[in-house]
A and B are shown apart, each in its own frame.
Chain A
């Protein structure tokens, strides 16, 4: 760019740049392998810290921003994820990077409505019971409105968990819900514990995706399902250009105006472009040991749901 106008400066810059690259690699040896933060190159340790700070800063406005950026469509995506999961009462779900609880609350709602339908069907079959017996069955079913289903929300960021807990209180979700501070690359759970593992818009922010996938495999029961909802690559070229234009021109502005934070949302749109495309991610999931790995594109690939089973 400007180097064309000033050759002497370019010469100086190149030497300065070489020195900087050398310092960078020496620093790298000390601090760990290089990775990316959006379009920047950083060490793994730096990346973890930067991402923690991003979410610490956006936590309070996270939901508002999601609604503004996606014009509310993210709610539909999350609904589709839970419908695809089709949990039955008694399911134990681990929602990783679940911060503000969107998937967890949808899971609880879904399981509750399935349970209600079960109870209604049961009652219809018990038409010739005495009033005593019907009253008793009401008592015992009432205490199990979720049918022993449980969801554990795990997130690495305290602020996001805090917002999630406040939301749960505000919306009236109490039973069947627990909040755990933990790292997707090193989950604080035993092997073979959960029926379903979900990670919605979180795996993009994990520094070592392969470790997170291995952990997912470890904590799932045999027969358990892995589900990942994440931004992916758009195949249609016209849509892709519009999407890029919207992402890079509008989203950081929304971040500045609504959340007072341009940089975090610039990181967000860059990190979406950095994430591997559908097929490559599918291969990574298979590498972790999952079978029947498949993906479903939503909105022409703006978002994709990847699914796999531990057999």
Chain B
């Protein structure tokens, strides 16, 4: 599989921080190795001038300096304007150097997780059979998930695709994490308001160790009212931490094959305590 050196942000051979001006067709030849692996080479796979070619559609190779700047900038922007979900995503990607390989290894060493890594399922409106899920009995994962999507008026298609991860397997891992986020809401029974999001972030922080989740969990409550903060601190966060610690890795569950399973039973299986 196409993969750059495992160290995050590792310099590629011949990389310089300052790309030189292309001379004639010299740059075109950079793109040739991509033609070798059967991709159509159409507009999606653009020639990127950073010394490394695109590893997956949407990939933007970045130098370590750029990643550092992105991490700092996206953190500030995410706090300044909470509606910039893309900044939260970028923060997750640029700071996930250590946590993502850990997650990937956890998945590799678990039979179901390993299968997910091989089959690479995607949770999207085009891949989900919404009518069938709606038709499932109440209390099942599928039915509750659809109910959650409709009640909160969200869609799984709004998840940002990864851009700055320099390893395409890790890019899938973070994509999976993003797509499973809504299922976390369903399993934890939390709505998509600020309070619910913070609780889910606490749970995810314990589960994944992603710095973005930790930061979100720590700074998210800043915008909550005192009453909500109290509920958060006394009931919700301790429960989220206990569940997070007790539960097995949430990325190791092949949700697409468990739509018929009742939510209660899935919670027990993973190890999530019933919500307060």
Q: Are B47 and A39 in contact (CB under 8 A)?
A: yes
Q: With A39-B22, A273-B21 known to touch, is A257 a contact of B74 (CB < 8 Å)?
A: yes
Complex: chain B residue closest to A4, CB-CB = B13
- Tell me the complex Cα distance, A21–B28, Å: 8
Q: Is A128 an interface residue (CB 8 A)?
A: no
Q: Is A177 an interface residue (CB 8 A)?
A: no
- Tell me the complex Cα distance, A3–B29, Å: 11
Q: Are B32 and A13 in contact (CB under 8 A)?
A: yes
- Tell me the complex Cα distance, A301–B27, Å: 27
Q: Are A270 and B49 in contact (CB under 8 A)?
A: yes
Q: Are A249 and B35 in contact (CB under 8 A)?
A: no
Contact residues of A between 268 and 285, Cβ < 8 Å to B: 270, 273-274
Q: Are A13 and B35 in contact (CB under 8 A)?
A: yes
Q: Are B41 and A20 in contact (CB under 8 A)?
A: yes
Q: Are A41 and B28 in contact (CB under 8 A)?
A: yes
The 8 A CB mask of B69-86 against A (1 = contact, 0 = none) is 110011011000000101
Q: Are A2 and B13 in contact (CB under 8 A)?
A: yes
Chain B residues contacting A253 (CB-CB under 8 Å) are: 66, 69-70, 73
The 8 A CB mask of A250-268 against B (1 = contact, 0 = none) is 1011101110101100100
- Tell me the complex Cα distance, A253–B76, Å: 13
Q: Is B18 an interface residue (CB 8 A)?
A: yes
Q: Are B47 and A20 in contact (CB under 8 A)?
A: no
- Tell me the complex Cα distance, A252–B62, Å: 10
- Tell me the complex Cα distance, A19–B19, Å: 26
Q: Are A254 and B35 in contact (CB under 8 A)?
A: no
Q: Are B84 and A19 in contact (CB under 8 A)?
A: no
Number of contacting residues on A, CB 8 A? 38
Q: How far is the CB of B67 from chain A (nearest CB, A)?
A: 9
Q: Is B107 an interface residue (CB 8 A)?
A: no
Q: How far is the CB of B60 from chain A (nearest CB, A)?
A: 6
Q: Is B17 an interface residue (CB 8 A)?
A: yes
Q: With A21-B25, A21-B28, A273-B21 known to touch, is A249 a contact of B46 (CB < 8 Å)?
A: no
Q: Is B12 an interface residue (CB 8 A)?
A: yes
Q: Is A173 an interface residue (CB 8 A)?
A: no
Choose among A9, A14, A41, A249 the residue that contacts B63 (Cβ–Cβ < 8 A): A249
Complex: chain B residue closest to A2, CB-CB = B33
Complex: chain B residue closest to A262, CB-CB = B60
Q: Are B47 and A40 in contact (CB under 8 A)?
A: yes
Q: Are B27 and A41 in contact (CB under 8 A)?
A: yes
Q: Is B14 an interface residue (CB 8 A)?
A: yes
Q: Are B18 and A248 in contact (CB under 8 A)?
A: yes
Other A-B contacts than A20-B32, A39-B49, A41-B28, 16 sampled, CB-CB below 8 A, are: A1-B14, A2-B33, A16-B35, A20-B41, A39-B21, A39-B22, A39-B47, A41-B22, A244-B18, A248-B18, A252-B66, A256-B74, A257-B76, A262-B60, A263-B60, A270-B49
User: Could you list some 12 contacts between A and B, CB below 8 A?
Assistant: A13-B36, A17-B28, A20-B41, A39-B27, A39-B47, A249-B17, A253-B73, A256-B90, A257-B70, A257-B73, A257-B74, A260-B86
Q: Please report A residues at the B interface, Cβ cutoff 8 Å.
A: 1-4, 9-10, 12-14, 16-17, 19-21, 24, 38-41, 241, 244-245, 248-250, 252-254, 256-258, 260, 262-263, 266, 270, 273-274
